[in-house]
């Protein structure tokens, strides 16, 4: 059994970790830690956990966590985990740490300081941390001892946009991400804007132009582009580098769980070899049969037969991939991924993923405007936090990724 510790056990993400770990056949929770709830039983903090065999909550002590645990999940606010991670690894270098907070997500300490308003206390550990989005970074996760579990919005946004970024299909300076979250995304600590009378029957934006998940989304989209071998938004040879700028606006929605992202970007015209080439079809007109050359061209930098999309000023406006081609691309990109469901005819909705580790995605090409619309939905506390963290633990320990995460969504 993997011996698991949870620091920040009294919060929403910590509680969700405990709930899911109780259903994990290869893991046992041996330490629950929180500063304010030390001494309490788990069910005093989470009434739903009454009757389960769980340790009493203890104070947050790095030595104790390091000594007793094979892996420690830290579900604490920004700034709280960097020194704790350093202390745990100093006490036990072989212990693995999965940080659900943001302290190890940004690769640049300067960027961290800029967006989080504090200096990083363990900058030498940042480079070893793997960004924990399994569908995009699985190999790095396998070989690390620090996993930076992604933010809830970045998970939804990156899974929605990665196939387009990897295949160079959109102008990555044109990306607009409109996102909505349930109130549990703000955590358990009360504050006026999150009180029931103020949230209920209300819909409001927040963090406009300055939400901390913005640089995380940009950083990881850039890495997707770099890994795919595309030269950047301008395509190979454009000299643009991995040029990404997203406009991200989150909104608070009066529901307890769930994130829905609607992302927009300008589609780039396909090269002639792809749409108008030997087979004589424009991508737009090609339909299902036309997805074959499109998909060959979209396959990416590693395939010998590929010709990557790049700018082509001579292309007509309708030489962009259509919805069927894009859906086929998404299905291919996420083939074999247990937790990403590409929807063809339906649209994602938060209730269809509630309580589960799924992220549902649908893509639509707007051939009238030349833009793509991608919609994704996930449960912020599961695929957006605790479920994804357990998926990462499974990868770290060489287990089947879905162990402990097969709970179907709760409906209605």
Ligand X SMILES: NC(=O)c1ccc[n+]([C@@H]2O[C@H](COP(=O)([O-])OP(=O)(O)OC[C@H]3O[C@@H](n4cnc5c(N)ncnc54)[C@H](OP(=O)(O)O)[C@@H]3O)[C@@H](O)[C@H]2O)c1
Select 198 or 243, whichever has its Cβ closest to ligand X: 198
Nearer to ligand X, 48 or 303 (CB): 48
| Strand partners of residue 178 | 249, 262
Q: Is 275 a binder of ligand X (CB under 6 A)?
A: no
Q: Among candidates 155, 148, 133, which has minimal Cα distance to 82?
A: 148
Nearest to 177 by CA among 134, 208, 135, 132: 208
Q: Does 250 bind ligand X (CB under 6 A)?
A: no
Q: Which residues are catalytic?
A: 152
CB of 238 to ligand X, least distance (A): 35
Closest CB to ligand X: residue number: 11
Q: Please name the helix (run of DSSP H) or strand (run of DSSP E) that holds residue 288, with its range, or none.
A: helix 283-298
Nearer Cβ to ligand X (10/376): 10
Half-sphere exposure of 360 (CA within 13 A, CB side): 19
Q: Which of residues 39-98 bind ligand X (CB under 6 A)?
A: 60, 75-78, 80
Number of shown-chain residues binding ligand X (CB under 6 A):
30
Q: Which stretch binds ligand X (CB under 6 A): 181-189, 199-207, 333-341, 400-408?
A: 181-189
Q: Which range in 23-31, 274-282, 378-386, 398-406 contacts ligand X by CB under 6 A?
A: 378-386
Give me the helices (H) in 170-252, please.
Answer: 196-199, 213-228
Considering beta carbons, is residue 194 or 264 the nearer one to ligand X? Answer: 194
Q: How far is residue 136's CA from residue 133's CA, in Å, rounded to a whole number?
A: 6
> Contact between 399 and ligand X (CB under 6 A)?
no
Burial tier of 337 (Cβ tally within 10 Å: 0-12, 13-18, 19+): middle
Q: How far is the CB of 250 from ligand X (least distance, A)?
A: 12
| Cβ within 8 Å of residue 280, ≥6 positions away | none
- Name the nearest CA neighbour of 217 among 251, 180, 185, 177: 177
Cβ-contact 360, 253 below 8 angstroms: no
**Among the candidate windows 12-20, 236-244, 299-307, 309-317, which touches ligand X by CB under 6 A?**
12-20
Spatial contact of 175 and 262, defined as CB atoms under 8 Å apart: no
Residues 6 or more apart in contact with residue 283 via CB below 8 angstroms: 270, 274, 275, 276, 290, 294, 319, 320, 321, 322, 325
Stretch that binds ligand X, among 5-13, 85-93, 219-227, 322-330 (CB under 6 A): 5-13
Contact flag: residue 356 with ligand X (CB under 6 A): no
Query: Does 152 participate in binding ligand X (rule CB under 6 A)?
Result: yes
**Residue placing its CB nearer to ligand X in the complex, 100 or 147:** 100
Q: How many CB atoms lie within 10 A of CB 66?
A: 20
Residue 188 or 344 with smaller CB distance to ligand X: 188
Binding stretches for ligand X (CB under 6 A) = 8-14, 34-37, 60, 75-78, 80, 100-101, 151-152, 184-185, 187-189, 380-381, 384-385
């Amino acid at each position: 059994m993997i011996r698991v510790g949870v620091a920040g056990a009294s919060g929403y993400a910590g509680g969700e970790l405990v709930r899911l770990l109780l259903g994990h056949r290869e893991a046992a929770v041996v330490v629950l830690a929180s500063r304010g709830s030390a001494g309490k039983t788990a069910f005093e903090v989470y009434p739903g956990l009454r009757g389960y065999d769980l340790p009493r909550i203890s104070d947050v002590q790095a030595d104790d966590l390091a000594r007793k645990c094979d892996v420690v999940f830290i579900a604490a606010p920004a700034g709280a985990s960097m020194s704790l991670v350093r202390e745990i690894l100093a006490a036990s270098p072989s212990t693995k740490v999965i940080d659900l907070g943001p302290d190890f997500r940004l690769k640049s300490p300067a960027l961290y300081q800029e967006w989080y308003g504090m200096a990083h206390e363990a900058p030498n550990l940042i480079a070893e941390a793997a960004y924990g989005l399994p569908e995009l970074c699985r190999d790095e996760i396998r070989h690390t001892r620090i996993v930076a579990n992604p933010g809830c919005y970045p998970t939804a946004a990156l899974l929605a946009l990665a196939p387009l970024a990897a295949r160079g299909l959109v102008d990555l300076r044109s990306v607009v991400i409109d996102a909505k979250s349930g109130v549990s995304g703000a955590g358990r600590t009360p504050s006026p804007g999150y009180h029931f009378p103020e949230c209920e029957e209300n819909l409001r934006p927040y963090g406009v132009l300055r939400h901390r998940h913005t640089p995380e989304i940009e950083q990881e989209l850039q890495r997707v582009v770099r890994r795919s071998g595309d030269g950047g938004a301008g395509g190979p040879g454009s000299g643009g580098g991995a040029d990404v700028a997203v406009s991200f606006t989150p909104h608070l929605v009066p529901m307890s769980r769930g994130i829905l992202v609607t992302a927009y970007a300008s589609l780039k015209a396909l090269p002639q070899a792809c749409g108008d080439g030997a087979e004589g079809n424009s991508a737009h007109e090609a339909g299902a049969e036309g997805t074959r050359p499109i998909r060959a061209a979209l396959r990416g930098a590693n395939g010998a037969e590929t010709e990557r999309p790049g700018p082509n000023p001579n292309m007509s406006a309708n030489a962009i991939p259509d919805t069927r081609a894009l859906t086929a691309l998404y299905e291919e990109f996420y083939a074999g991924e247990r937790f990403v469901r590409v929807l063809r005819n339906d649209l994602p909705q938060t209730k269809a993923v509630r309580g589960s580790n799924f992220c549902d995605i649908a893509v639509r090409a707007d051939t009238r405007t030349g833009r793509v619309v991608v919609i994704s939905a996930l449960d912020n506390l599961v695929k957006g936090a605790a479920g994804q963290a357990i998926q990462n633990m499974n990868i770290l320990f060489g287990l089947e990724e879905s162990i402990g995460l097969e709970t179907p969504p709760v409906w209605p």
